[in-house]
């Protein structure tokens, strides 16, 4: 019989051998590794609707506390040694669970495509400190209009995008040229020598004049509105705040979208974008385009004039994202846009006590003008942004070039009488460079500092003429008969302005954690500016028997000559600063207090003048002291509440005086006021509501302004600031109805109420913007993955009309009406 081996003895012998030969630990490690082989799981977390990466999303092993987050490309990696379930998670999206089964593999690839979750509020991102941060952590009064908001509210231009921001109103009484007013401080395009009081940015590129700011939205990631002075970090002309449009960056993914809209007034809009990854995780490009066409809502009785009363725009944008190393990101952007025709908004309103030219006021939205309102604009520019990691710090370089040229010509009296014609060609060209470096924002001490340079040239040529029907108005003003006036046909003037501007600044802002809850922030900015104006104005008279009739002398005189223009300088060297404290009561509740000293540089009156020496061509800089208390609360993923209370004190506030044919800027010696803003967002099951309210009480305290007809001094003290409504209220309810597991219906409204606002410093009721409530709505059908959508939308459903803007002229008043009810259908498709 064969003898069986004695296994315990053999095992003991092997154990002793391994122990004495030093191989015991190696043997035990090998057994452990063979028993628990490690598998590396990698993949990406993407948005299901278009395949774009979600940065900062989480991947967690179900039933454990172990997990990781995605990088800037949406990538993650995690190790496992047994079959598990992985949870992909991102705020505002539904969790997705994926099984991870090693099965002897040393690596697995598992991607997550997350579907939007309407049951949670997404964390809004804002760059108020020139770096991306969560809105609830930034001690600034800010509103963020997200891409979701733009889609759900059927937003097709910048004006519509800003309807839900408290203490902000918008106007557009010339085609494609927008005006913004934040806390009673507005942008204008009536005077090229008057820079915007609200700073306008597109992708970190600054636009000093609103006439160069493209109002048609294309591939927009979000629109940020920072209320109150932001001069330390954003610099020039931010006493009112900042409107910053941020476009989508190229993503390391392949996707695209097509959107088509059609509505009444022959409205048609097509927008499309395509994103392509050319080199994996290295190079991606995005191309976008838009075309908008719409007939005007003011009806002109003359067919040839009515034929050009429309909006016609097309534009393109291209961008590239290059990441040669994990520490270097380079983004290049370029754009081109062209406006073709002008959509008229004006009608003649005569005067309440008489008809200066014997013409009755226009009725409703109907008019009869002498010449068509024509408008063309061409814009193009580039922005190059580089971000370089230097240890824990980041160096950012932004180089921008922008060019805009537009030409307008139209019937200046907007009546059937042949009284006056006016036209303007204006151009802006600038080159800017910014360098800044910042530390991580979550450190005990964080900082940001940098240098800024802007070189700019702005120019305008105004042409104006008085026509034959002006004669009775001129004789009434002169209080005398004009000899040979019956022979009068035309007199006019030409005004030419060129502004060379150079601005340089150095800035630094630091934040120090005094305690775990209390943080101190302080900032300084030194700005030096040099501006030079070249100005000349020439009148043209009609001569009868060798003598000029001289009617144009009422409004203009000769100032300088084309060969020897009048020159003026406006230089500023100013230190501005801010100081603030914020206290975190809980991780979800913050309060802050801040003080900001801001300024806006001196400028030029470039419109028509009756001063032959040009002594009033320069106006003084303005300064502001702003005090603010704020509170931010987000107790859950379904509720958010923010509020801010502020007090503002202005010295030499710059105000635009639009007095018929005379447009100039004057300084109000003292202006004060206060206001409050609140914003609330809440979700309950499938219902969401966003509510924003604003209240303003801003008054001129001392504003002497010449004398009246009796020679008595005029002071506008006590008057309300122009374009500063006392109240703004926005309510945007929406309801999502799941009709099957795969489809849902969305019903949303957008109700906006704006209180009475004045369009001039004298607070004339005749041309004031009356209080009005506008109701918009949207009904759409879409699958849960958001791949496509079909929607019906309506704007101003109650057909409420209000005066956007108004002017008082010697020959009669004119007003610009708001847009009446318009409706349409929208179809969009996301593709991969």
Is 50 exceeded by the pLDDT of residue 2?
Answer: no
**Residue 274, strand partner residues:** 256, 287
Q: What is the pLDDT of residue 175?
A: 60
CATH of domain 244-831: 2.40.170.20
Q: Is the per-residue pLDDT at 435 higher than 70?
A: yes
The whole-number pLDDT of residue 143 equals: 95
Cα–Cα distance, 573 to 165 (Å, whole number): 33
pLDDT tens profile 257-291? 999 999 999 999 999 999 999 998 899 999 999 99
Give the whole-angstrom CA distance, residue 749 versus residue 732: 5
The Cα-based distances of 199 to 30, 192, 570, 654, 770 in angstroms read: 66, 15, 20, 15, 27
* Cα first-last separation, the chain: 75
pLDDT score of 319 = 96
Closest CA to 673 of 128, 183, 155: 183
How high is the pLDDT of residue 6? 47
Residue % of the chain over a pLDDT of 90:
59
Residue 369 pLDDT class (50, 70, 90 cuts): very high
Measured distance CA(109)–CA(69) in Å, rounded: 16
* pLDDT digits 0-9 by tens, 127-142: 888 888 889 999 999 9
pLDDT at 663: 65
- Angle (nearest 5°) at CA 68 between 62 and 74: 115
pLDDT in tens, 502-546: 999 999 999 999 999 999 999 999 999 999 999 999 999 999 988
Q: Phi first, then psi: what are they for 30, rounded to 5°?
A: -65, -40
User: Mean pLDDT for the chain?
Assistant: 88
Please state, as a whole number, how many other Cβ atoms lie within 10 Å of the Cβ of residue 694.
26
Would strands 687-702 and 125-126 be described as parallel, antiparallel, or unpaired? Answer: unpaired
Q: Kindly tell me the sign of the dihedral angle through the C-alpha atoms of 12, 15, 17, 19.
A: negative
The model's pLDDT over 23-59, given as tens digits with 9 standing for 90+, comes to 444 444 344 444 457 889 999 999 887 778 888 888 9
| In the predicted structure, residue 9 carries a pLDDT above the cut 50 | no
| pLDDT at residue 72 in the model | 78
CB 796 within 8 A of CB 776: yes
672 Cβ contact list (under 8 Å, min separation 6): 647, 648, 649, 650, 698, 699, 701
Judge contact between 302 and 369, C-beta under 8 A. Answer: yes
Fold of 36-114: Immunoglobulin-like (2.60.40)
Domain ranges of the chain: 36-114, 125-243, 244-831
Residues with Cβ within 8 Å of 420's Cβ and at least 6 positions away in sequence, in order, are 411, 412, 413, 464, 465, 466, 467, 470, 661, 811
What's the confidence (pLDDT) of residue 54? 87
Residue 665, pLDDT above cutoff 60: yes
Contact 380, 335 (CB under 8 A): yes
Among 222-231, 344-353, 498-507, 538-547, which is the least confidently predicted range?
344-353
Give, in words, the CATH class of 125-243.
Answer: mainly beta
pLDDT at residue 197, as a whole number: 86
Short-list 202, 209, 232, CA closest to 505:
232
**What does DSSP assign to residue 361?**
P
Measure the CA–CA gap between 145 and 679, rounded to whole angstroms: 12
User: What pLDDT score does 7 carry?
Assistant: 42
Token pair 């969305």: residue: 746
Question: Minimum mean pLDDT among 91-100, 183-192, 310-319, 412-421: which range?
Answer: 183-192
Cβ atoms of 320 and 278 closer than 8 Å: no
Strand-pairing partners, residue 543, are: 548
Residues 6+ apart with CB under 8 A from 708: 714
What the block records as the tokens of 85 is 């379930």
- Please state the rounded mean pLDDT for residues 110-130: 83
Q: List, as one string, the DSSP characters of 208-274.
A: SSGGGS--B--SEEEEEEEES--TTTT-TT-SSEEEEEEEPPP-SS-EEEEEEEEETTTEEEEEEEE
Query: Quick one: pLDDT at residue 671?
Result: 95
pLDDT, mean of residues 590-599: 96
pLDDT at 662: 59
- Residue predicted with more confidence, 373 or 501: 501
Predicted pLDDT at 226 = 94
Residue of higher predicted confidence among 508 and 742: 508
Tell whether the model's pLDDT for residue 125 goes beyond 90.
no
pLDDT per residue as tens digits for the range 142-169: 999 998 898 888 888 777 888 899 999 9
pLDDT digits (tens, 9 = 90+) for 708-729: 667 788 899 999 998 999 999 9
What pLDDT is stored for residue 213 in this prediction? 75
Q: How many CA atoms lie within 13 A of 208 on its CB side?
A: 31
Quote the strand ranges of 3-95, DSSP E. 39-47, 58-61, 67-69, 75-80, 84-89
CB–CB of 225/243 below 8 Å? Answer: yes
Closest CA to 273 of 254, 252, 248, 256: 256
Give dist(CA 707, CA 254) in Å, integer. Answer: 67
Contact status, residue 246 vs residue 217, Cβ threshold 8 Å: no
Give the pLDDT band (50/70/90) at residue 659.
Answer: low
Contact 656, 596 (CB under 8 A): no
Express each pLDDT in 374-430 by its tens digit: 899 999 999 999 999 999 899 999 999 999 999 999 999 999 999 999 999 999 999
- Would you mind telling me the total number of residues written for the chain in this entry? 832
DSSP string, 569-606: EEEEEEEEEEEEEEEEEETTEEEEEEEEEEEE--EE--
Contact 171, 759 (CB under 8 A): no
Instruction: Measure the CA–CA gap between 581 and 533, rounded to whole angstroms.
Output: 42
Q: What is the CA radius of gyration of the chain?
A: 32
State how beta strands 490-513 and 445-467 pair.
antiparallel
Element (H, E) at 159: helix 158-161
């Amino acid at each position: 019989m064969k003898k069986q081996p004695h296994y315990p003895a053999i095992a003991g012998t092997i154990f002793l051998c391994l122990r004495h030969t030093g191989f015991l630990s190696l043997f035990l490690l090998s057994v452990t590794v063979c028993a628990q082989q490690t598998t590396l799981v990698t993949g990406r977390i993407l948005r299901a609707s278009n395949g774009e990466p979600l940065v900062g999303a989480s991947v967690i092993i179900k039933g454990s506390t172990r997990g990781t987050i995605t990088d800037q490309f949406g990538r993650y990696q995690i190790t496992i040694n047994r079959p598990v379930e992985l949870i992909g998670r991102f705020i505002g999206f539904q969790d997705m669970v994926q099984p991870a089964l090693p099965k002897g593999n040393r690596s697995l690839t598992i991607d997550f495509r997350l579907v939007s979750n309407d049951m949670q509020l997404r964390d809004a991102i804002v760059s108020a400190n020139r770096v991306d941060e969560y809105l609830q952590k930034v001690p600034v009064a800010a509103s963020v209009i997200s891409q979701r908001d733009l889609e759900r509210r059927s937003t097709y231009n910048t004006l519509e995008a800003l309807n839900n921001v408290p203490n902000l109103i918008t106007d557009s009484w010339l085609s494609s040229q927008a005006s913004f007013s934040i806390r009673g401080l507005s942008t204008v395009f009536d005077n090229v020598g008057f820079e915007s009081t609200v700073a306008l940015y597109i992708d970190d590129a600054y636009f000093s004049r609103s006439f160069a700011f493209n109002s048609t939205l294309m591939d927009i990631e979000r629109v940020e509105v920072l209320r109150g002075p932001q001069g330390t970090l954003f610099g020039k002309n931010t006493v009112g705040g900042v409107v910053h449009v941020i476009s989508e960056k190229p993503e390391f993914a392949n996707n695209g979208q097509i959107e088509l809209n059609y509505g009444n007034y022959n409205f048609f809009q097509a927008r499309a974008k395509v994103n392509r990854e050319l080199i994996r995780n290295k190079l991606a490009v995005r191309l976008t385009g838009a075309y908008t066409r719409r007939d005007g809502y003011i009806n002109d009785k003359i067919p040839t004039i009515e034929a050009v009363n429309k909006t016609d725009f097309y534009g393109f944008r291209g961008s590239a994202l290059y990441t040669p190393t994990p520490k270097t990101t380079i983004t290049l952007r370029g754009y081109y846009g062209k406006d073709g025709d002008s959509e008229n908004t004006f009608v003649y309103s005569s005067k309440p006590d008489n008809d200066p030219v014997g013409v009755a006021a226009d009725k409703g939205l109907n008019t009869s003008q002498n010449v068509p309102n024509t408008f063309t604009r061409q814009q193009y520019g580039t922005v190059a942004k580089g971000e370089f990691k230097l240890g824990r710090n980041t160096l950012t370089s932004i180089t921008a070039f922008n060019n805009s040229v537009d030409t307008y010509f139209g019937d200046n009296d907007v009546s059937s009488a042949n009284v006056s014609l006016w036209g303007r060609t204006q151009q802006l060209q600038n080159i800017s460079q910014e360098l800044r470096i910042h530390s991580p924002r979550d450190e005990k001490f964080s900082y940001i500092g940098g240098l800024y340079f802007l070189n700019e040239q702005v120019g305008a040529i105004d042409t104006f003429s008085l026509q034959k029907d002006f004669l009775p108005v001129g004789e009434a003003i002169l209080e005398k008969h004009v000899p040979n006036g019956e022979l009068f046909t035309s007199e006019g003037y030409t005004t030419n302005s060129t502004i060379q501007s150079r601005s340089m600044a150095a800035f630094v802002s630091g934040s120090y954690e005094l305690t775990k809850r209390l943080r101190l922030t302080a900032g300084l900015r030194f700005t030096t500016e040099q501006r030079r104006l070249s100005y000349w104005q020439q009148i043209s008279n009609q001569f009868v028997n060798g003598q000029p009739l001289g009617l144009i002398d009422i409004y203009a005189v000769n100032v300088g000559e084309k060969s020897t223009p009048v020159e003026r300088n406006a230089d500023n060297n100013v230190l501005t600063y801010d100081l603030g404290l914020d206290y975190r009561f809980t991780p979800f509740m913050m309060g802050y207090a801040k003080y900001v000293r801001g300024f806006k540089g001196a400028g030029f009156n470039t419109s028509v003048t009756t001063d032959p020496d040009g002594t009033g061509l320069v106006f003084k800089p303005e300064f502001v002291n702003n005090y603010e208390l704020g509170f931010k609360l987000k107790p859950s993923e379904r509720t958010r509440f923010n509020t801010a209370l502020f007090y503002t004190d202005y010295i030499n506030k710059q105000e635009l005086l639009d007095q018929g044919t005379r447009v100039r800027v004057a300084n109000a010696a003292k202006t004060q006021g206060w206001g409050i803003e609140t914003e609330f967002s809440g979700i309950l099951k499938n219902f969401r509501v966003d509510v924003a309210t604003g209240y303003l009480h801003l008054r001129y305290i001392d504003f002497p302004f010449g004398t009246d007809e009796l020679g008595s001094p005029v002071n506008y003290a006590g008057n309300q600031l122009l374009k500063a409504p006392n109240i703004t209220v926005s309510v945007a309810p929406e309801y999502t109805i799941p009709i099957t597991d795969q489809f849902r219906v969305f019903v949303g409204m957008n109700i906006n109420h704006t209180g009475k606002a004045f369009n001039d410093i004298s607070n004339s009721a005749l041309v004031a913007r009356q209080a009005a409530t506008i109701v918009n709505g949207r009904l759409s059908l879409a699958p849960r993955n958001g791949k496509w959508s079909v929607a019906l939308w309506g704007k101003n459903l109650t057909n409420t009309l209000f005066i956007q803007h108004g002017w008082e002229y010697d020959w009669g008043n004119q007003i610009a009406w708001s847009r009446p009810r318009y409706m349409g259908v929208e179809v969009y498709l996301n593709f991969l």
